[in-house]
Structures are given as structure tokens and as C-alpha cells.
């Protein structure tokens, strides 16, 4: 028998004979998940039915708050986040029993994939939905340690969020966190004492995690050379911005931004089908291409702004759709929705931050605006535009 087999046999024997405190005698130790000086995490089985649970042990007196927080989670999230099962104290130690979520951590399961961008977007949307549920609780629950090791991919491929050890309830009266906690590679700047962590703290950590999925690195600089679309790069820069005011305001808004990036194959084929129909129409002398044909924007930012206004993240935009456009707002490389705060005096300010040195956008030709007869509000700042003749005759009220 080799050394590994000897170790496993002796280790299992030690588990079988290990004595748990009186309140936990109904469980049997199965394996050690983590072990530190004064605490540990164990996988246990309940003796009466064999069901698995996770047992946390701490001598630091920190598990009661986690148990109470897990007890607040909605019942329908029991399969996607840990559920509180039991809590007790004995001989100066605290014991927390929570549900066990089977699967692999994202850190273990995510290797070089054939479609890292689409997988990143899909998983990001699912995690935004989970965080949105947490953040909508009263008071909101801030996880504060979103990272690949704390994201479990279930056997069905759905992400689950674990380890609420440093989670906290958001208190609007507090100026800063009482302690600097979090994982160095994914912790937001405010977790180091700059301000109080709030919902945007989790969004920062998720943004860094998604950046890691695309680049294999936590370094922001590595994103620029990543093999992914410019749209995803812009999203990841915003998600992990240093200033919380520059990030997405909510998990729902972040998920919606990801949805605009996600275009399934069937949706991508629709422009081709429409082009074929238009060709047939022209051959038959219908003469409808000008109104129903797809628009060539000539600028990714301008297209993104129009799609946001029309709420059309997918599919072709026809010229007749442009008649519904009433508002467009682009500052540098940022497309603004209605919630973003914009001000322009001698200098452009976005969410209270000067854009004086911000990079310029890619909008130079605005001739397409002539096909927007209902456009009343237009912000195009830090772009290279020389011909403004398309604005003549538009009912603009704000420019």
C-alpha cells in the first residue's frame, strides 16, 4: 500500500473516532475543508439520514452574526446560498451548521474555455440576479467577499454563493467599515477604510472576478490585451472602477448591461434573414429598403446609445426604429442611461467626476441623427465631430 493510501486510511480512522461537542453528536465528520489556528470548516454527515452539512468552528466569537444573517435569507435561495441549520456554543467555541452546496468552486472549475466571453457574460448575469436579491433585503446584505473561491458551480451549472463570514447589513448612518476585511485580489478600495462598503462593493468584486474569467489575471492592466470584445472591456472597466460613483449603481443595472452584451446565435442570424428578405423585396420592386433596412451606425458608442434608448439589446435596428429615439447621451466612452448624473459648465462632469482628461469616444459622423425626427435631448461630449448639419430641423430642447 502506498503512502497516500496509508494517509487516507489513518486520516479516516481519526475522523471516525473524533469526538464532537455534545450538541453536535448527531453528526459524523467526513472531511476537513479548511483549518486555521482558531477555527475550521468541516464537511459532516447527519447520522440519522446521512445528509451532508458544513460545520464551522470558531474560538473568535464571530459565528452568531453569520448564523443570524443566513437565517434572514429567503427560503427560495436555499439551493443557491447556504441555509442556517443550527448554532451552539460549548467550551469557549462557537459552532455553526449550514447546508452543504455540492459542486466545484469557480476557481477550480474555470479553466481555459472555448467561449470565455459568452461564459463570463452568462455567469455574470446569474450572479447579478443573486446579488440583487441580497441587496434588496431590508436591511440590504453586503457579502463583501465575492471571489472565484466563494462561487460554487452546481452539478447543473448554476452559480451558488457561499461564505458569508464577513457579510454585513448595510447601515446608511455609518461613514466607514469598522474593520478592513475581504480578499486582497477582489476587495474594493472602500474595504480598506476609504468609505463604508455598500452594494457597489459586491459589484466591484464581481467585476474583478469576471475580469479574471476573461484574462486569467486580477490585474486591471491585463484587460487591455484580452481577447474579448471592446464592449465587454468597457463593461469590466466600469464594473471595477476605483470610485464607487463610477460603477454600476445596482446589481440589476449591472445585469442589464450584461444582457445588452449577450446576443445568442439565433439572434445574430436575424440580420442575415432580414437582409435576404430586403434583397427579395428590392428584386420585386417593393422599394422598402430605406425604411426597413438595418442601420449602419459607423460608431459602436452611437449604436449602444440608440439600443439603450430603444431597449433593443439584440437584433437589427431599422431606420423606422429611429423615429422612436428621443434621448441620446454619450460622454467620452460612456453611454449614459437616465439614472446617470451629467453636468456641463466649463468642464464636463459625470456622476460628480470631472471628465476633462477622459479618453475621447469614437463618434465622428452624426448624419444618422437626421433620421431621428423626435430627438429632443442630445449629449455628445468628448467626441471628434466636425459636421453638425444633421442637427438642422431637429426638435432639440437640450444640446
- CATH number at 379 reads 3.80.10.10
CB atoms within 10 A of CB 145: 23
Cα gap 146→211, rounded to integer Å: 13
Determine, yes or no, domain membership for 267.
no
Cα gap 213→351, rounded to integer Å: 29
Q: Same domain for 109 and 230?
A: yes
Q: Same domain for 109 and 214?
A: yes
CA atoms within 13 A on the CB side of 216: 6
- Phi/psi for 350 (5° steps) reads -125, 115
pLDDT the model gives residue 292: 62
pLDDT at position 268 over 50? no
DSSP letter for 90, please.
E
Q: Same domain for 30 and 64?
A: yes
Q: Which of 80, 99, 118 is the last residue of a domain?
A: 99
Q: Same domain for 132 and 235?
A: yes
Determine, yes or no, domain membership for 396.
no
Cα gap 365→387, rounded to integer Å: 7
Q: What confidence category does residue 272 fall into, taking pLDDT thresholds of 50, 70 and 90? A: low
Determine, yes or no, domain membership for 268.
no
Determine, yes or no, domain membership for 270.
no
Cα gap 361→363, rounded to integer Å: 6
Give long-range contacts, CB 8 A cutoff, 24+ apart: 233-236: 234/333, 235/261, 236/207, 236/210, 236/211
pLDDT cut 90: percent of the chain above it: 24
Domain of residue 37, CATH code: 3.30.200.20
Q: Same domain for 66 and 128?
A: no
Higher per-residue pLDDT: 58 or 290 = 58
Q: What confidence category does residue 286 fall into, taking pLDDT thresholds of 50, 70 and 90? A: very low
Higher per-residue pLDDT: 298 or 10 = 298
- Phi/psi for 29 (5° steps) reads -65, 135
**What range defines the domain where residue 246 resides?**
104-261
* Range of weakest confidence among 3-17, 286-300, 324-338, 341-355: 3-17
Cα gap 204→189, rounded to integer Å: 9
Q: Which of 202, 237, 261 is the last residue of a domain?
A: 261
Residue 284: partners with Cβ closer than 8 Å, 6 or more residues away:
none
pLDDT at position 132 over 90? yes
Determine, yes or no, domain membership for 274.
no
What are 330-347's pLDDT values in tens digits? 988 888 887 666 666 556
Q: Same domain for 15 and 83?
A: yes
224-242 burial string, b = 16+ CB within 10 Å, else e?
eebebeebbbbbbbbbbbe
Domain of residue 151, CATH code: 1.10.510.10
Q: Same domain for 154 and 253?
A: yes
Determine, yes or no, domain membership for 397.
no
Determine, yes or no, domain membership for 18.
yes
Determine, yes or no, domain membership for 13.
yes
Q: Which of 261, 287, 319 is the last residue of a domain?
A: 261
- What is the pLDDT averaged over residues 232-255? 91
Cα gap 337→305, rounded to integer Å: 8
* Range of weakest confidence among 40-54, 85-99, 162-176, 319-333: 162-176
CA atoms within 13 A on the CB side of 391: 15
Q: Same domain for 123 and 185?
A: yes
pLDDT the model gives residue 170: 45
Q: Same domain for 245 and 306?
A: no
Cα gap 304→310, rounded to integer Å: 10
Cα gap 79→372, rounded to integer Å: 48
Q: Same domain for 247 and 138?
A: yes
Higher per-residue pLDDT: 133 or 281 = 133
Number of domains in the chain: 3
Q: Same domain for 326 and 198?
A: no
pLDDT at position 361 over 60? yes
Q: What is the mean pLDDT of the chain?
A: 80
Q: pTM of the full predicted structure?
A: 0.60
What are 13-38's pLDDT values in tens digits? 555 545 566 667 788 888 888 777 66
pLDDT the model gives residue 287: 46
Lateral strand order in the sheet of 334-335? 334-335, 327-331, 377-381
Torsion sign across C-alpha atoms 245, 303, 387, 373:
negative
pLDDT the model gives residue 213: 92
Q: Are 342 and 335 in contact (CB under 8 A)?
A: no
Distance of CA 352 to the CA centre of its chain: 23
Q: What confidence category does residue 127 fall into, taking pLDDT thresholds of 50, 70 and 90? A: very high
pLDDT the model gives residue 165: 77
The full length of the chain comes to: 399
Higher per-residue pLDDT: 376 or 111 = 376
Q: Same domain for 109 and 84?
A: no
Amino acid at each position: 500500500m502506498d503512502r497516500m493510501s496509508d494517509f487516507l486510511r489513518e486520516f479516516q480512522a481519526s475522523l471516525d473516532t473524533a469526538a464532537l461537542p455534545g450538541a453536535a453528536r448527531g453528526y459524523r465528520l467526513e472531511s476537513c475543508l479548511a483549518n486555521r489556528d482558531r477555527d475550521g470548516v468541516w464537511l459532516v454527515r447527519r447520522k440519522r439520514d446521512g445528509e451532508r452539512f458544513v460545520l464551522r468552528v470558531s474560538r473568535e466569537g464571530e459565528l452568531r452574526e453569520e448564523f443570524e444573517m443566513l437565517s434572514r435569507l429567503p427560503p427560495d435561495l436555499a439551493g443557491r446560498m447556504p441555509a442556517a441549520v443550527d448554532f451552539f456554543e460549548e467550551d469557549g467555541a462557537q459552532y455553526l451548521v449550514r447546508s452543504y452546496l455540492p459542486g466545484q468552486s469557480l476557481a477550480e472549475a474555470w479553466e481555459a474555455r472555448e467561449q470565455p466571453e459568452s461564459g463570463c457574460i452568462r455567469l455574470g448575469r446569474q450572479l447579478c440576479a443573486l446579488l440583487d436579491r441580497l441587496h434588496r433585503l431590508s436591511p440590504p446584505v453586503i457579502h463583501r467577499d465575492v471571489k472565484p473561491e466563494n462561487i460554487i458551480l452546481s452539478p447543473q451549472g448554476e452559480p451558488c454563493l457561499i461564505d458569508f463570514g464577513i457579510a454585513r447589513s448595510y447601515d446608511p448612518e455609518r461613514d466607514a467599515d469598522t474593520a478592513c476585511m475581504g480578499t486582497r485580489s477582489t476587495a474594493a478600495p472602500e474595504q480598506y477604510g476609504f468609505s463604508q462598503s455598500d452594494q457597489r462593493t459586491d459589484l466591484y468584486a464581481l467585476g474583478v472576478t469576471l475580469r479574471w474569467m476573461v484574462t486569467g489575471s486580477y490585474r486591471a492592466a491585463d484587460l487591455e490585451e484580452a481577447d474579448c470584445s471592446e464592449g465587454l472591456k468597457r463593461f469590466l472597466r466600469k464594473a471595477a472602477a476605483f470610485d464607487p460613483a463610477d460603477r454600476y449603481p445596482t446589481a440589476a443595472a449591472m445585469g442589464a448591461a450584461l444582457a445588452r452584451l449577450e446576443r445568442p446565435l439565433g439572434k445574430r442570424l436575424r440580420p442575415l434573414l432580414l437582409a435576404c428578405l430586403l434583397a427579395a423585396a428590392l428584386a420585386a420592386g417593393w422599394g422598402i429598403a430605406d425604411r426597413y433596412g438595418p442601420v449602419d451606425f459607423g460608431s459602436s458608442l452611437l449604436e449602444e446609445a440608440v439600443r439603450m434608448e430603444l431597449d433593443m439589446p439584440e437584433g437589427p435596428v431599422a431606420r423606422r426604429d429611429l423615429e422612436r429615439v428621443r434621448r441620446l447621451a454619450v460622454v467620452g466612452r460612456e453611454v449614459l442611461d437616465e439614472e446617470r448624473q451629467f453636468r456641463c459648465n466649463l468642464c464636463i462632469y459625470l456622476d460628480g467626476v470631472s471628465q476633462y482628461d477622459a479618453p475621447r469616444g469614437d463618434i465622428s459622423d452624426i448624419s444618422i441623427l437626421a433620421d431621428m425626427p423626435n430627438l429632443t435631448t442630445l449629449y455628445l461630449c468628448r467626441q471628434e465631430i466636425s459636421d453638425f448639419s444633421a442637427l438642422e430641423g431637429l426638435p432639440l430642447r437640450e444640446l
